[in-house]
């Protein structure tokens, strides 16, 4: 800019109002906005009459297609497999939770089962002691019976074959009494 001579452009009040609004919106002075517009059209070689701007549309469409392609790639490579794996994980977690629920129910039954088992074992112990006592009593009876039998055999041997019938009956009677008293 320096020492260059300044030029002026004439435009209508309506264009002046539009330029004023645009400058306010952009937060710049009108002169700066005007110079930037000239620089923009000079650099881009765009025709200000071409409002549709096919080059801009093509660039936007290309970027849009790239963006959509990127999203589809991410969806196929990342999101869909992740969703599938999360679904599997949720299903397995549901199974784990169900298993823990069943385990909790079984754990609630365990104290009752232990109590029943303790009662059963207590009954077994009582029966075992009774059987052990009966076996002990049986062995004692056998010993006593053997003693009576030996006593009978010894007394019979001492009686001679000629011993009286009364003596033999008395020996048998005494032995039977001893056996009954067991």
Q: What are phi and psi of 181, to 5 degrees?
A: -75, -10
> pLDDT for 103-137, tens place per residue?
888 888 888 888 999 999 999 999 999 999 998 98
Q: For the stretch 32-59, what's the b/e string if a residue is b when 16 or more beta carbons lie within 10 angstroms of its beta carbon?
A: ebeeeeeeeeeeeeeeeeeeeeeeeeee
- Mean pLDDT (10-residue bins), the chain, 182 residues: 79 94 94 92 82 74 89 88 92 92 88 91 93 89 85 75 74 82 76
Tell me the whole-structure pTM to 2 decimals: 0.36
- Identify the pLDDT of residue 2: 60
- Identify the pLDDT of residue 36: 94
């Amino acid at each position: 800019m320096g020492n260059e001579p300044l030029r002026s452009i004439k435009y209508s009040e309506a264009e002046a109002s539009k330029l004023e609004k645009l400058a306010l919106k952009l937060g710049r002075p009108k002169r700066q906005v005007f110079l930037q517009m000239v620089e923009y059209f000079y650099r881009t070689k765009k025709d200000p009459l071409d409002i549709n701007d096919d080059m801009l549309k093509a660039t936007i469409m290309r970027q849009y297609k790239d963006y959509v392609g990127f999203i589809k790639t991410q969806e196929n490579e990342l999101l869909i497999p992740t969703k599938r794996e999360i679904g599997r994980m949720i299903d397995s977690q549901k199974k784990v939770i169900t298993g823990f629920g069943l385990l909790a129910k079984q754990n609630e039954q365990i104290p009752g089962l232990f109590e029943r088992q303790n009662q059963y074992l207590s009954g077994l112990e009582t029966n075992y002691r009774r059987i052990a006592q009966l076996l002990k009593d049986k062995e004692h009876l056998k010993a006593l019976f053997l003693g009576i039998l030996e006593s009978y055999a010894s007394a019979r041997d001492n009686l001679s074959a000629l011993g009286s019938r009364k003596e033999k009956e008395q020996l048998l009677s005494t032995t039977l009494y001893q056996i009954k008293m067991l």
